[in-house]
Structure 1
């Protein structure tokens, strides 16, 4: 038996699933993230999105919540964001 605890399982659908997307602080980065997320989560509430610049202002993090419907949705969303070349990290 392992002493490492197992990661908690997510039950789907999962409302208010938090996502943080970090990329270069460009004028249209927020819009790009919103458009990409809405492809996978059309019910995204954009009024709940928060932005934070890095200390140096080089990066911008976009925090949002979606209703996650399954692992496949989350995988495709992550792939689309990362494939853009504009995203550094998705948490």
Structure 2
């Protein structure tokens, strides 16, 4: 059976990033700062926030115009190094 490789992304493209973390006042600010640093000019009105059933966690989805794999890697690394962030997809 031939080995399948992951589909390649054609840049630039709209790319959703979902950040899940502890529901805390600083989570939204952190996500916005990281996105502005790596994807300046992203549409802040298209950001969606969803609280968990008990309000302990939040999922924040941001759609950026991705310019390359290096940009995405930098965003993921910046977000994952913060203790408020549990997961980045």
RMSD: 1.3
Equivalent residue in structure 1 for 2:18, among 17, 20, 25: 20
User: What secondary structure sits across from 1:81 in the alignment?
Assistant: helix
- 2:4, 2:54 → 1: CA distance? 37
User: Is 2:50 the partner of 1:52?
Assistant: yes
Question: What is aligned with 1:30?
Answer: 28
- 1:41, 1:76 → 2: CA distance? 10
Unaligned runs of at least 5 residues, structure 1: none
Offset of residue 37 of structure 1: 1.2
TM-score by length of 1: 0.89
User: What secondary structure sits across from 1:28 in the alignment?
Assistant: helix
User: What secondary structure sits across from 1:32 in the alignment?
Assistant: helix
- 2:68, 2:18 → 1: CA distance? 18
Unaligned runs of at least 5 residues, structure 2: none
Question: What is aligned with 1:7?
Answer: 6
* C-alpha distance after superposition, 1:34-83 (max 9, x if no partner): 11111000011110000001112111010110010100100011000011
Question: What is aligned with 2:60?
Answer: 62
Offset of residue 5 of structure 1: 4.3
Count of aligned residue pairs for this structure pair? 89
- 2:37, 2:29 → 1: CA distance? 13
